[in-house]
């Protein structure tokens, strides 16, 4: 088992933020969430780093939320509802914090970018994917709702494409993700991914640090990510579904590699 769920390393003005649970395709559990909070705290105070590269270890980007924790038992229904609401709110806040970093954030994507992984893709400033990357918002197939990633998907892709991804909930390949605007560039393989990231870094180095940060802030100020109260309403919707019978069946079906009862 991986003991360090998030790695933060620096190479001069470039920081690498690596999701490091390869045995779970870098699915987000509570330990990873705490480590991400610490890393985002450090980066928000970092005045020397200009670029953050976000990636996943082991050939995958991020498989979303660790469903073994979402479906965990041993608490009352009321306690589960509160815990799931808090979890979903914290997840949404992390996407906001990544987007608000003063550095330029590049998502370097290989393998799976599913569910909450799409939040990391869309809250990054640039998203580059290898041709074998796969993208999916499968929440409705698990009896859940894609509450906190929806605003990011809509901002990146537009409402129509976001609706297509979240309601159909199928897996799309990198070429389709590029066509829909989910990622900015698709490259053949890992070596080409590193080259594409290096090219972006080279361009960014030509820009003045304060001017780049101010430009990011101005773009964010053009309009809110979502209406007031959406994050709380989304967390409540997620918690209600996560604590309900559909999620119990959907997560069980996922673990048992079978169709959920509503799909038969």
CATH superfamily of 6-189: 2-enoyl-CoA Hydratase; Chain A, domain 1 (3.90.226.10)
Using an 8 Å Cβ cutoff, are 105 and 124 in contact?
Answer: yes
Contacts for 152 with CB less than 8 Å, ≥ 6 apart: 95, 118, 119, 122, 123, 225
Long-range contacts of 256-264 (CB under 8 A, 24+ apart): 260/141, 260/143, 263/141
Which residues are bridge partners to 62 per DSSP? Answer: 113
Q: What are phi and psi of 7, to 5 degrees?
A: -110, 130
Using DSSP, state whether 75 is helix, strand or coil. coil
- pLDDT given at position 70: 76
- pLDDT given at position 44: 96
- pTM score: 0.95
Question: 4 vs 56, 79, 100, CA distance in Å?
Answer: 13, 28, 24
Taking alpha carbons only, the member of 216, 217, 196 closest to residue 53 is 196
Residue of 139, 232, 246, 249 marked catalytic: 139
Continuous segment of H or E residues that includes residue 260: none
**Residue 58 φ/ψ region, left for φ over 0, alpha for ψ in the -120 to 50 degree band, beta for the rest:** left
- pLDDT given at position 68: 83
Q: What angle do CA 172, 67, 151 make, to 5 degrees?
A: 55
Residue 139 is a catalytic residue: yes
Show pLDDT as tens, one digit a residue, over the chain (264 residues).
557 999 999 999 999 999 999 999 999 999 999 999 999 999 999 999 999 999 999 999 999 999 888 766 556 778 878 888 999 999 999 999 999 999 999 999 999 999 999 999 999 999 999 999 999 999 999 999 999 999 999 999 999 999 999 999 999 999 999 999 999 999 999 999 999 999 999 999 999 999 999 999 999 999 999 999 999 999 999 999 998 999 999 999 999 999 999 987
Q: Which two tokens stand for residue 108?
A: 């370097």
- pLDDT given at position 75: 65
């Amino acid at each position: 088992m991986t003991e360090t769920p998030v790695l933060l390393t620096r190479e001069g003005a470039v920081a690498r933020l690596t999701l490091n649970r390869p045995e779970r395709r870098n699915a987000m559990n509570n330990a990873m969430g705490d480590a991400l909070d610490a890393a985002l705290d450090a980066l928000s105070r970092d005045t020397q780093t200009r670029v953050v590269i976000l990636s996943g270890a082991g050939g995958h980007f991020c498989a979303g939320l660790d469903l073994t924790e979402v479906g965990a038992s041993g608490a009352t229904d009321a306690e589960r509802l509160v815990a799931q609401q808090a979890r979903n709110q914290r997840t949404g806040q992390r996407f906001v914090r990544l987007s608000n970093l003063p550095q330029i954030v590049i998502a370097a994507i290989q393998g799976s970018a599913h569910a909450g992984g799409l939040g990391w893709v869309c809250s990054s400033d640039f998203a580059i994917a290898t041709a074998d990357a796969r993208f999916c918002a499968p929440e409705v197939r698990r009896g859940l709702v894609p509450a906190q990633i929806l605003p990011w998907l809509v901002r990146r892709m537009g409402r129509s494409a976001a609706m297509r991804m979240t309601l159909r909930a199928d897996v799309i390949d990198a070429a389709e993700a590029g066509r829909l605007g989910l990622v900015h560039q698709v490259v053949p393989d890992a070596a080409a991914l590193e080259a594409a990231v290096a090219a972006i870094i080279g361009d960014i180095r030509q820009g003045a640090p304060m001017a780049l940060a101010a430009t990011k802030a101005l773009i964010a100020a053009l309009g809110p990510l979502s209406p007031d109260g959406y994050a709380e309403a989304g967390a409540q919707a997620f918690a209600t579904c996560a604590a309900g019978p559909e999620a119990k069946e959907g997560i069980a079906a996922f673990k048992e590699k079978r169709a959920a009862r509503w799909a038969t």
